[in-house]
Amino acid sequence: MFELNGKVAVVTGASSGLGKDAALAYAKEGVNVALLARRVEKIEEIAKEVESLGVKAIAIKCDVAKEEEVKVAIETIVNEFGRIDILLNNAGVTAHGGVDSLSEEEWNKVMDINVKGIYLVSKYVIPVMKEQNYGKVINISSVNAILGEKGGIFIRHAYNTSKAAVLGLTKAMGASYAQYGITVNAICPGLFESEMTERTLFTSQKFLEKYNTLCPASRPGKKGELNGTIFYFSSDASSYVTGQYIVVDGGISIV
């Protein structure tokens, strides 16, 4: 049920953090991987790591908020692999501040990458999956889709909004595309060390102490602890699950 060998996965935001980890984890399971990100030099290096694990990889420069780049990227992937079995919509950015301090430019950037990006990539991948009558779409949301933060630099209203929108889109897509053999689900990670968090949240010892005190697991997530949930939604183990989300947060959202 969890067999992934020989599948083709598209991973957006694959240049670092959870996207890079997922790409390498897929490769270890025998999945051929297409890596999409704006920083092509980084994904080219990751593609070499992926191929060293015995599968095929392709690195494509792509800003998921730009439709023409997305269109060309998906066409390139289909020409290279002939199909797309898995789409991991992972690309994401954040901006710190509340609605009383965020600039319109900051707000729009977060919405463009985190919400519009999923729409655009899915727009070109879903027709491929419909033709196959098979597909697995996994949208990366966040625990911040269901939780807010009271204090200081940790207020991120645009990010909260965008990640809640991902859950709404996941439900809508799940309902519409199940008839084509396509499941659409979301993952809400809690605090994991990544390029996005290591420059902000992980720089504050006060925040980490507070987080560890509140979190039932008493720590942030470790590298690789998201992969089991990704594999579940990527495999036929979740063939009758769609429009759902799983929170992977060490229990922080239940206290």
The conformation of residue 221, written as its DSSP 8-state character, comes to B
Indicate the SS3 state at residue 161: helix
Task: Tell me, yes or no, if 26 is annotated catalytic.
Answer: no
Torsion of CA 52, 56, 61, 62, to 10 degrees: -130
Q: Between 40-51 and 17-28, two packed helices, what is the crossing angle to 10 degrees?
A: 20
Torsion of CA 35, 138, 111, 188, to 10 degrees: -120
CA 26, 72, 229: angle at the middle one, nearest 5?
25
* Phi/psi at 8 (5° precision): -120, 125
**Unique residue bearing structure tokens 């063939």:** 239
Q: Maximum CA pair distance of the chain?
A: 51
Are 190 and 147 in contact by the 8 Å Cβ rule? The answer is no
Q: Could you say which of 159, 177, 211, 245 is catalytic?
A: 159
In angstroms, the Cα distances linking 187 to 45, 136, 244 are 26, 13, 9
Tokens (6 digits) for 34:
């297409």
Are 85 and 126 in contact by the 8 Å Cβ rule? The answer is no
Residue 208, Cα to own-chain centre: how many angstroms? Answer: 24
Which residues are known to be catalytic? 159
